[in-house]
Structure 1
Amino acid sequence: METFEIVEEITDQTVAASLHALREAVDGNEITIRLPYNGGGSVDAAIELIEAVKDTDAKVVIEVDRYVISAAAFIYLWFCIYPEAHVQARTTGEPAILVYHRPRVIIDDHLAFISDLTADAPEWDTLSEFTDIFDQLFDYLLAACGYTDQNENLYEYNQCELKHQLSHVRNGYYSNQDFVLPT
C-alpha cells in the first residue's frame, strides 16, 4: 500500500507524486491519499487528482484529518457525493472540519468570485467553469443533508416567518460565504 500526504496546499507539485502512482497503478494496488491540515489551493490540480482517482485501477482511500478547506474539501466531498466502487472517503478517525466555498481568484491582492467579474475579464471562463462544478457538488451535498425546494418556504412561528436552517446555509454559500461542515 502506498500513502501520499498532501499537507497544507493543493498544487501541481503537491499532487504530482500521487498522480503518478494513480496512473501507474494496476489492479490490486492500494493507494491512500491523506489531506491533513490542508488549506486548499489549485482547483485545476484538485480536478486533475479527482480524474486520476476515478480512472485508476487501484483501490483508493481519500482521508481527511483535522481540517480541509476549499480545493481539499472539494476532493473529499466529491467522493462522498459521487461514490466510486474503488474509492473510500473517510476521516483518520479524528474529527475533521470541512470548509467549502465557491472558487475564487486573487487579483492584485483582492479576492474575486464569479459574481464580482464581468464576462470580459480574463479569469471569467475558467472561474465560471469551476464555479459551476463547485455549485453542482454543493447542491447535491445540500440535497443529501435534506434540502428540498420546500425548505425555501417560510415557516410561521409565533407571528414570525422563519427560514429552514438549510435555506440559510444555501443563501450563505451563494453569497460567497464559507460553508463549514464537521465530519
Structure 2
Amino acid sequence: MERPRGLFDMTDEQVLEYNVERQKRMKELASGNSKRYIARQRAQDLKGYLARCLKNRMAWQAKNKDKVLATAAGVRARAVASRRHECVICDMGLQSALALRKHLDSKAHLEQVRLAEGGAPKVVSATAASSRKFTAKHKAAKTYYCPVCDRAFNIKGHLDKHNASKKHLAKVAAADATPASA
C-alpha cells in the first residue's frame, strides 16, 4: 500500500480507499491521453494512421480466426432470422439483398412461382428416369455415403468436405428438429 505524501495519520482502510481512487483517476487520465493521442495521430497523418489501424485489425483477425468466424456466423444467422430479405413464395429468409436477387433468378424459385400460379408439376422424361436408374446403380458402388442428403462419394475427403457444408448441416439440423416417426 502506498501512503500519500504528508498524510501519515491515515488508517489502513483510508489508505486502501485512497489507492483505489488514485488508480481510478490514473485510468481515466490514461484513457483521456489515449483519445488525445489518437486524435493527434489522425490529424498529423491520416493515411498513415488508417494504414496502421488496418494492419493492426488484420493482425488481430489472423490471430483470432475463430472469433471472426463466430461473429460472421452470428451476423448471418441474425440476418436470416430477421427475415428482412424474404421470399414469401419459397418461405425462405436470406441474409442479404444480393442473396435474395440471386434466389429470385434461380430455377428453383421460378419453378415455385409456376407451381404457385396453378401450373402442374413437370413430368419426368424417360431419359431422366433412365439416368436416375444409372445414377442409383453407381451410387451403390461408391464407398462413402451421406444418408441425410442421399449423396455418395468415391473419396473420403469429399464426404468430409460435404459433411462440413452449410447445406448438409442445415439438413442435419432439420432432420434433428423433426420428430422421427415410430
Task: Give the TM-score taking structure 1 as reference length.
Answer: 0.24
**Higher helix fraction: Structure 1 or Structure 2?**
2
For CA contacts below 8 A with separation 6 or more, give which structure has more relative contact order. Answer: 1
**Higher strand fraction: Structure 1 or Structure 2?**
1
Instruction: Choose 1 or 2 for highest CA Rg.
Output: 2
